[in-house]
Structures are given as structure tokens and as C-alpha cells.
Chain A
């Protein structure tokens, strides 16, 4: 997406290690940031989201942090498992639109058993 940059594009980790994916956005008015996981042949699945009134949100092994000043947000996966292998996308809303999102270009995560 033209307003969201995502890094890295590929990431390999050993099972049990942590994985971190980072996104930056340009619209300072953006206030909602979802993360999606996409497995081969399937649509993106929402895994966690964060609103701009909080700096961190956690759900079991997954957490998202938001730095509004720097306009970046990150996905953290701890204790990675082989089933975490997938492509992950971040997204941020387009300004003055009805809930349209810009998506990042995706991170292909491989967890090595």
C-alpha cells in the first residue's frame, strides 16, 4: 500500500524464537491498525488489532505495539510454532474514507522446526 511500509519482506526464525514485523504509516490521523495472517490459498484472517488510544495490546503469544509519535506499529509473536508460518499483513485506514485500508506488502514468516 502506498501509505504503509512493512518490513521485513521475509523472515525465518527457529521454532520457539520470537518474530517481529514492523510497519510505518504516513497519515497522522490514522487511529486503527489491524494485523492479518494469510495462509496459502486462503483469505487474510484478522489476528489482532490496536486503536490509537493504547500503546500495546496482547493476546496470548501475539502482541502489537503502537508508537503514534513515530507513526509505526509492530507485531510481536513469541514462542513461535511451525503453524505460525504464513504471510502477515499490516493495514492502516485511508484518510477520510469509509473504513478503507491501505495494506502493507506482507511479510512471509517461516518457522523452522
Chain B
């Protein structure tokens, strides 16, 4: 079991730049989730996929954020025109699809906006 893999682990960029993160879920998991976590808080849901379909998006996900999972395997999260407030840890998780299932998290991508 290789677990959920995220890269890069750290990203530092200037305000206004675009960034893209990648998540590789556990291979047999057909649900994939993106969360954002700021210091001292629990993860906050952003969006999730079942296979290649993006089924739900949080109100936290502004128009500058877009996520894809084109082949139902890995996923990318892109943030356009980054702002200071986007600085956070972006976590990916995956799970099986039926009922309430344990979500397994990657180690996240820490984004710092200069």
C-alpha cells in the first residue's frame, strides 16, 4: 500500500502567480477529496470526485480554484492569481465509494504566498 501521495510538498510563490498541485490516491479508491488546512484548524472540505466526476464543491472554492481528475486516478488542484489568503496546507484524501468510509490523507502541499 503506497498510500496517498501529494506533490510538491512545499510551494512558495509570489502573489498573482498560478500554482498546481497533484494528488495520487490509493489505487483502488474511487473517491478523492481536497481539503484546506490553516494553522490551528481542522481540515476544511473543498471538493470531491467520484471516479472522474466532480460531485461537490464547497463555497470556499472560489472561481480561482479548479480541480480535475481526468482519468479517475490522479487529481490536480490549480489556483490562479494566488492571494495571500491562499497560504495554507492543501490536503488530499481518498476512500472507497460505498457509504461512509475512512478517508486516508496524504501529507499535503504547503503553499506559501510571498
Contacts and interface: CB of A to CB of B under 8 A. Distances in A.
Q: Do A and B come from one complex?
A: yes
Interface of A: 1, 4, 6, 31-32, 34, 36, 41-46, 49, 51, 89, 91, 93-94, 97-101, 103-106
Interface stretch (B42-50, B64-72, B73-81): B42-50
Interface in B36-55: 40-45, 48, 50, 55
A64 to B, nearest CB: 13
Contacts of B93: 43
Nearest to A41: B107
A31 B99 CA distance: 10
A72 to B, nearest CB: 17
A93 B105 CA distance: 16
Interface residues of B, number: 27
Contacts of B4: 43
Interface of B: 4, 6, 31, 33, 40-45, 48, 50, 55-56, 91, 93, 95, 99-108
22 contacts: A1-B42, A32-B100, A34-B103, A41-B107, A42-B108, A44-B43, A46-B102, A46-B104, A89-B43, A98-B31, A98-B56, A99-B31, A99-B33, A99-B48, A99-B101, A100-B33, A100-B56, A101-B43, A103-B43, A103-B44, A104-B42, A105-B40
B107 A106 contact: no
Contacts of B44: 1, 103
A43 B43 CA distance: 10
Nearest to B50: A98
Contact of B91 (A41, A43, A46): A43
Contacts of B99: 32, 99
